[in-house]
Chain A
Amino acid sequence: MICQKCKKKLATVRYAEVIDGHVTEIHLCPDCLIEVQNNPKGFKLSSEEPQVKEPKETIEDISKKAKVKSICSVCGTQLNYIQEKNKVGCFTCYKNFGPEIESILEVIQGGGTHIGKKLNYSNDEERVRAQFLLDTKKALIRQAIKAEDYEFAAKLRDEIIDLEKTISSWKMGKN
């Protein structure tokens, strides 16, 4: 079919416009389509190419993020296990899946914060830091065993035992 606008080139696109509530359909060549799209008279019903917003992140970024987010980097607990069983695997799960755990607590506990008995640890920040260090070492030991680096794993194991003893023997108000 010949383009209904320039009457010269071959029409390849069916273009529709709504003008004063009436739908008008015309067959256009690619050049005339661009011109019409740049100066529309009414509301477009279709266009040659669908308009898609550019994603801020690439697919690779998103899948990488999902992969990282859905498994606890320290104990290996999967997010769907936590959501299904309402159980976490380690201290770091609470940090890794903070918003997801908040949502679960909202449903099963009605949300809120702890207002009950508190143990006044004077070294709170140090305790949290040590806990993260320990959890990181535990994550590393899993990697070391996977990579069959048993020498490094043995070294980490000794460090973990020492750190566990140190942390668990901290006495309330002593440090």
Chain B
Amino acid sequence: MIMKTWVDNKPIWWKEEAEGAPVAIFTVGTLCRNVAGFFFPVRMGEEEKERLEILLKEALTQFDEFSVDEYVSFAGVSPREHLFLSERFLVSYDLLSGIGRRGVFISRDQRFSLMINGGEHLVLRSVFAGAQVEKVWELLNQIDDRISKSIDYMTDSRLGFLTSDLNLVGTGLKLFVILHLPGLARTGSIMLWEEKLKSLGFYLNGIKTGPPVDARPLSIPKHLVEQGFHSTIGTPVTVGFIETVGSLFAIGNKYTLGFSEAEIVFSLSHMVSEITKAENDARQKLLSSSRLTLEDIVGRAEGVAYGAKFLEFAEAIELWSALQLGSSLNLTSKNIPSLPLPLLFELQGGHIIINLTGNGNNTVKMSLARASKFKEIFKN
């Protein structure tokens, strides 16, 4: 029932006016906390996990946003129906593929989630449209303050918030922004940004479809997982620049130790705004130097998007990317004023399969459903 509510009700941030759009697509923040007195999940037995789950559920249901009925337990349930939550970045892939007692609270507006017994005891997640790093941190901080009034966190005077993963110790804060950078990718200047960001403690990577490397396989067909974007606790699943799909990239903080939250938020916001400006400049340069080539790319994409009966996920993302670029440079026909944000999410395997009914060849049905999603944009 709860699952149906989440499928039917779209996240509030899908409808928002997005700052930094269309270059900045969405911002994700993750805050990791562990409860004093318990082993980390990697060493916890089932009984200890259960005790912690009960303790956290009691504490979190004191929030107006949640009731016990809204807790989704992942233990012993097929991840097929939960895959779309990972694709919406409301749960990390680690939680889906984890072992034993674990689950998630998701706010009714799907703005934030609280994951229990994933890689860490408690992982707070928040998602906003566009580049809204400050707002993401503000919300996470507020929730964290409220929880810390009823739960005692595991901390150290020198290392800050202690985590099982040493990559998260300190602030426990990981932020990233998903960017669409076809201009910088085509001109090759993205390489210069990578170096610059690296020296400042940030990463800029391509986005990869499918599960994180070394993740436990889910008990569902692998091709289904491959048709979507997923995340680990702190970062999206990424690859090198060349292998990225749809010119989608992620920028985020590498370090959680030695930097304050304010520094991370300020620097990331600044960097995102710089890259957005550079991307818009690169697009204008491309337009003046290679207008015909761009028109050809966008025109072909429009033709396929309008006429295709079946669409594979990778092809659909490339089409989305071309149309998004065309729309921002007014190169598309009048039928496509702009691409809606939900389209990017609804093209993913988990989102499509949850709405499919009946048996039969799901691969064909999914390709058919995906192609029809594109047609909807021409109707608007």
A171 sits at the interface (CB 8 A): yes
Given contacts A164-B51, A169-B152, contact A116 B160 (CB under 8 A): yes
The reply to whether B152 and A170 form a contact with Cβ atoms under 8 Å apart is: yes
Smallest CB-CB separation from B264: which chain A residue? A116
Check if A167 sits within 8 Å of B164, measured CB to CB: no
- Chain B 23-51 against A: per-residue CB contact (8 Å), 1 yes, 0 no? 00000000000011111101100000001
Write out the residue numbers on chain B whose beta carbons fall within 8 Å of the beta carbon of A99: none
Q: Does A90 contact B (CB under 8 A)?
A: yes
In the complex, chain A residues 156-173 whose Cβ is within 8 Å of any chain B Cβ: 161, 163-172
CB of A94 closer than 8 Å to a CB of B = yes
A171 touching B149 in the complex, CB below 8 Å, given contacts A94-B159, A114-B171, A117-B171: yes
Contact with B along A105-140 (1 / 0, CB 8 A): 100111111111111010010010011001000100
Chain B: interface residue total (CB-CB under 8 A): 45
CA distance A109 to B260 in the complex (A): 13
Q: Which of A12-20, A40-48, A81-89 lies at the interface? A: A81-89
Nearest CB in chain B: distance from A169 CB, A: 7
A166-B37 Cα distance, complex, nearest whole Å: 9
Contact of B169 with A105 in the complex, beta carbons under 8 Å: yes
B39 touches A101 (CB 8 A): no
* Bound-complex Cα distance A110 to B199 (A): 12
In the complex, residue of chain B having the shortest beta-carbon distance to the beta carbon of A170: B152
Task: Classify chain A's interface size.
Answer: 35 or more
Q: Known: A114-B171, A161-B51, A167-B152. Is A109-B255 also a contact (CB below 8 A)? A: yes
Chain B stretch 286-328: residues in CB contact (< 8 A) with chain A: none
**Residues in B whose Cβ lies below 8 Å from that of A124:** 157
| Chain B: CB-nearest residue to A166 | B37
Q: Please indicate the chain A residues that have their CB under 8 angstroms from the CB of B119 in the complex.
A: 87
- Ordered by A's residue number, 29 sampled pairs between the chains whose C-beta atoms are within 8 Å are A75-B39, A87-B165, A87-B166, A88-B40, A89-B164, A90-B40, A91-B154, A91-B162, A105-B169, A108-B167, A109-B170, A109-B258, A110-B201, A113-B158, A114-B156, A114-B258, A116-B170, A117-B160, A117-B261, A119-B148, A119-B155, A131-B37, A163-B37, A168-B35, A168-B36, A168-B38, A168-B55, A168-B152, A169-B152
